[in-house]
Structure formats: structure tokens, C-alpha cells
Amino acid sequence: MQTTKPRHDATEGTDAAVGTRDRIVRAAARLLQRQGYEGTGIKQIARDAEATLGSVYHFFPGGKQELAVAAIQHGEQEFADILRAGLAADDDPAEAMSSCTRLLAGSLRESDWMDGCPVAATALETVGRAPAIQQACAEAIGHWTDLVAEKLRGGGLDEDTARDLACAAISTLEGAELTAQVLRSEEPLLTAGRHLARLIRTYR
């Protein structure tokens, strides 16, 4: 179905240009999350963003790779917001980790099992071939790990233990999200949350 909303060009003014760029990045982030890098084209991104190809290349003269980096950074922030909300839900880091998995499971279910990790598909397709994209993915994972490690340190764990457990937690969440998508079930994430909470408690 064709949209009746007017398209905006990058030359229509500062406010319109900012809005256009944001729509392009959000559309790219969602498409990369669902289809991966190879399966997503510039024309599809422009169409979903209700923008012209000229606007896309105006904001991202480096083309698809430059846009992919911005899209990954956007997806990273969305995922980080879910982590922050879950980690803030309880003073006990073990219970907070369970809260994270419940929020992630609910978000995945609401997307009809489509929107898992915002970097996984793109990272796997571009590793070793697109350094800028790989760096953006690595920074995203590093940021998520930092958020969990900070919560664990606040719960009394030493720096090394907090960092190791945070790495284990993010790796577990990545695998649990993929399994939940394949099975179309929240249970893999909820199970991961319960066992991560038990693991954390053994160190406290």
C-alpha cells in the first residue's frame, strides 16, 4: 500500500532535514536488524523512510556502509535503553538481570519475534570485510557489557569479576534472543535470566 504522507527532501530546511535523517537511520536500523546487511538495499531504506535517494546520499555520502554504522549506533542505544530499564528495576543485580530478560522477551514478542539483537545479523555478515561496521558492532557490545558490569560493581563485586560476569551475561542474552526468535517463545530468555541470576548470586 502506498503512503499518502509527503516525502521530505534534505534541502527543505533544517528541521525537515533533521527529521529526514532520523527517519532514514531508524528505517535502516530496523531493516538491518531483520534482514541483515546483504539483504537490505539503499532503495528499500529510502522507501521505508519516506525519503528520496538524494536525501539518503546527502546525509550519508559514504553510502550503505556509512549508513549502516549510524543504524547500528541507533540500534545499540535502543538495546541499551532496555538494559538500563531492567538493571534499574531492582537494587539486587541478580534480580535486575532477570528483569532485563523479561523486558527483552516482551519486546521481542511485541515485534512478532522479528527484532532481536540490533547488531547480530550485520556483524556476522560483515566481519572481516567492513572494518567500520565491525568497529560499531564491537563498540555496541562493549557498551552493553559496561552497563551490566557497572550494575554488578554497584552490587559489591570486584572489577574483574564484574567484567567477566558481564561478558558472560551479554553473550548469554545474545544466544537466548536468537533461540527465542527461532522458537517464537519467551522461554529461552526467561530461562537465561533465571540462570544468570543464580550465577550472579554465587559470587555475592
How far is residue 180's CA from residue 194's CA, in Å, rounded to a whole number? 15
Q: Which residues contact 59 (CB under 8 A, 6 or more apart)?
A: 10, 17, 20, 21, 24, 67
Q: Which residues contact 79 (CB under 8 A, 6 or more apart)?
A: 117, 118, 140, 144
pLDDT tens-digit readout, 85-137: 999 999 999 999 999 999 999 999 999 999 999 999 999 999 889 999 999 99
Mean pLDDT of 26-42: 95
Whether the per-residue pLDDT at 14 is higher than 90: the answer is no
pLDDT in tens, 41-55: 999 999 999 999 999
pLDDT of residue 188: 98
Model pLDDT, residue 204? 77
Q: Which amino acid is at 5?
A: K
Cα separation of 185 and 183, whole Å?
5
Q: What's the grid cell of residue 85?
A: 530499564
pTM of the model: 0.88
Per-residue model confidence as pLDDT tens digits over 56-69:
999 999 999 999 99
Asked which of 5-9, 23-27, 82-86, 109-113 is least confident by mean pLDDT, the reply is 5-9
pLDDT bin (cut points 50, 70, 90) of residue 12 is: very low
